[in-house]
Structure 1
Amino acid sequence: MLRLRQEYFLASAGIQSAIRKHKQLFGDLHSLPEHWVFHLNDSHPIIAIPELIRILIDEEGFSWEDAYGIATKCFAFTNHTVMAEALEKWPVNYLAQLCPRVYMIIEEINRRAILALRPSTSPNRPSRTS
């Protein structure tokens, strides 16, 4: 759990620093994607995505839609390995215990992604998505 805590600390500090600097320079965070792109190289800093959404919603008063829209434009991701064992993953209970609000945001991202993937012809039909 220490490693996850370190990764969250560094990701959150980086996002907070960028937001603070952006507010000093431009004031309005709606323009964040025009000035900042966070390049996530590998899976370690990926927690920065829901952390940005958390900050925008909980600390800056953005709606879910606006916060999510900004986050989708602020991140680029690359990964240079195809080995499953090199991709980082954490037990859900670790994340839920350490960062409950970030975990809630990840759950909401997942819920919305599943809804978006359901066939539009039968929205009430149960589907198996894993």
Structure 2
Amino acid sequence: MKKLIIINGPNLNLLGKREPNIYGSLTFTEFLEEVKGKYPKVSIDYFQSNIEGELIDKIQEVGFSYDGIVLNAAAYTHTSVGIGDAIKAIETPVIEVHISNTFGREEFRHQSFISPNAKGVILGFGLQSYELAIQSFL
């Protein structure tokens, strides 16, 4: 059985409430239950934190034992050299995911410290971006 983890960064705990015109009205918990139902033969764990160091700790913790990491570092994508370095240091492949098309937003969101060390990047497909990332590991 493939063992994957979705790691979400800051403010993604507010999905369903936060800017529904950009992020939709589904909570991440609701979405995760749907995805787990679609892939019953895949172990999908989940972690979310608003704290950069906790995200780095989780990446290091799972980065040698999981088959894949689906990472939406949210705003830290554009600011965190530390998260980028953590991805570079681990063996588990990482798919960078974004709900919105970051290139259609503010210019500072066009820079990613994750992308250079990620296996791939999926953005702009709403919550389906996560499912596309999961499919890439299967």
TM-score computed with the length of structure 1 as normaliser = 0.29
TM-score computed with the length of structure 2 as normaliser = 0.27
More helix by share: 1
Q: Which has the larger radius of gyration?
A: 1
More strand by share: 2
